[in-house]
A = this chain, B = another copy of it.
Amino acid sequence: MNVLVVGSIAFDTIETPFEKVQQTLGGSAIYFSTACSFFSKVNVVAVVGEDFKMENLEFLKNKGVDFKGIKQEKGKTFRWHGKYHNNFNERDDLETKLNVFENFNPVIPDEYKKCRFLFLANIHPELQLDVLNQIEKPEFVALDTIKYYIDNNRDDLIKVLKNVNAVFLNDSEIRNLTGEHNLITAAIKTIELGPEVIIIKKGEHGALLISRDLFFSVPGYPVEEIKDPTGAGDSFAGGFMGYISKVKNTDNNSLKRAVVYGNILGSFCVEKIGVKKLKEINFTDIKERFRKFREYVSFN
């Protein structure tokens, strides 16, 4: 079953302690759809500038990603330049040029409007709400957001949260949203805002899924060397949403497996710079890591 994602496409310049790449394809919609494509067909709604060559998306088209929802607008594509420091504990955002993304006005093509699984990547909550209003009775909507919108557009965000099934937040974001340091308390407060399913991403420490009747916790998949954390959260969401749309099921066991797949897609993502590693792997690699992960965490 298709997954619809509304998010950003960008040219990223990434500096890590190991290397630097310039103007590589990035943005939430790219990481999400690359990860998601291992499980499901993906429909993308995003905006790019005149400088964007559609050939950039060829590898994703070959993976069953559909880009009818991409608009090419006058101006330049979103550009971001970030520099990570030792051990990736800190990042400097050296430059963020929204360009055409600044006036992003997501229009959902008619053929996407019946999508059952929707991922609202981190765009302005007003736009997220606007997208929601264009979709006919989706089955499962998940939302991502960032500190910026939590701080500056809280009222809008609260409105969207009322209307989604799941939210992906990292530990500092959910603390920020709820004012609660304890992640369980924070999750309970977030459930009261609307979403039934709270997924807390803890980076190298794994993830939690909390709902009214499920508590599920996974440690991080052991990665020998983190090369670039950019996009790991969107890759997590891509694996998660891809899996549940593939099995067309959001019962507790499917949600648990979706978290494990999300965790694994995130772990692949960080192993090479940009989207590189996700482009190299295949579904057998993912299944193999799933098998290993089960071994790493299970006991009799």
- Chain A: how many interface residues by the 8 Å CB criterion? 30
A283 at the interface (CB under 8 A from B): no
**Does residue A256 face the partner (Cβ distance < 8 Å to B)?**
yes
Interface of A is mostly: mixed
A-B interface, 5 closest residue pairs, ranked by CB to CB distance from nearest: A256-B299, A217-B219, A205-B205, A219-B219, A87-B181
Per-residue CB contact flags for chain A residues 284-299 toward chain B (1 = under 8 Å, else 0) read 0000000000101111
Q: Which residues of B contact A300 (CB under 8 A)?
A: 253, 256-257
A260 interfacial contact with B, CB 8 Å: yes
In the complex, what residues of B have CB within 8 A of residue A86's CB? 181
Instruction: Given A257-B300, A300-B253, answer yes or no on A224-B181 (Cβ-Cβ < 8 Å).
Output: no
Give 12 A-B contacts (CB < 8 Å), ordered by A residue: A86-B181, A182-B226, A184-B224, A205-B206, A216-B296, A216-B299, A217-B222, A217-B296, A218-B297, A253-B299, A257-B300, A260-B299
Which residue of B is nearest A260, CB measured? B299
A96 interface contact, C-beta 8 A: no
Tell me the complex Cα distance, A9–B298, Å. 36
User: Within the assembled complex, what's the spacing in Å between the Cα atoms of A216 and B297?
Assistant: 6
* B185:A224 contact, CB within 8 angstroms: yes
Question: How far, in angstroms, from A256 to B300 measured CA to CA in the complex?
Answer: 8
- Please report the C-alpha to C-alpha distance between residue A70 and residue B24 in the assembled complex, in whole angstroms: 66
Complex alpha-carbon distance, A220 and B87, angstroms: 22
* Additional A-B contacts beyond A206-B219, A215-B296, A216-B297 (14; CB < 8 A): A87-B181, A182-B224, A182-B225, A182-B226, A185-B224, A217-B220, A217-B297, A218-B297, A219-B219, A253-B300, A256-B300, A257-B299, A257-B300, A297-B297
- Separation in Å of the A185 CB from the closest CB of chain B? 7
- Indicate whether A63 reaches chain B with its CB closer than 8 angstroms: no
Residues of A within 8 A of B (CB): 86-87, 181-182, 184-185, 202, 205-206, 208, 215-220, 222, 224-226, 253, 256-257, 260, 294, 296-300
Residues of B within 8 A of A222 (CB): 184, 208, 215, 217
Q: Which residue of B lies closest to A258 (CB)?
A: B299
Provide the residues of chain B in CB contact with A185, threshold 8 Å: 224-225
Decide if A298 touches B298 in the complex (CB within 8 Å). yes
B contact residues around A87 at 8 Å (CB): 181
When C-beta atoms are compared, the residue in chain B nearest to A221 turns out to be B217
- Residues of chain B within 8 A (CB-CB) of A256 are 299-300
**A224 contacts across to B, CB distance below 8 A:** 182, 184-185
Within 8 Å CB of A208, what residues of B? 219, 222
A205 to B182, CA, bound (A): 13
| Nearest CB of B to A147, in Å | 18
Q: A217 to B223: give the CA distance in the assembly, Å.
A: 13
Smallest CB–CB gap between A226 and chain B, Å? 8
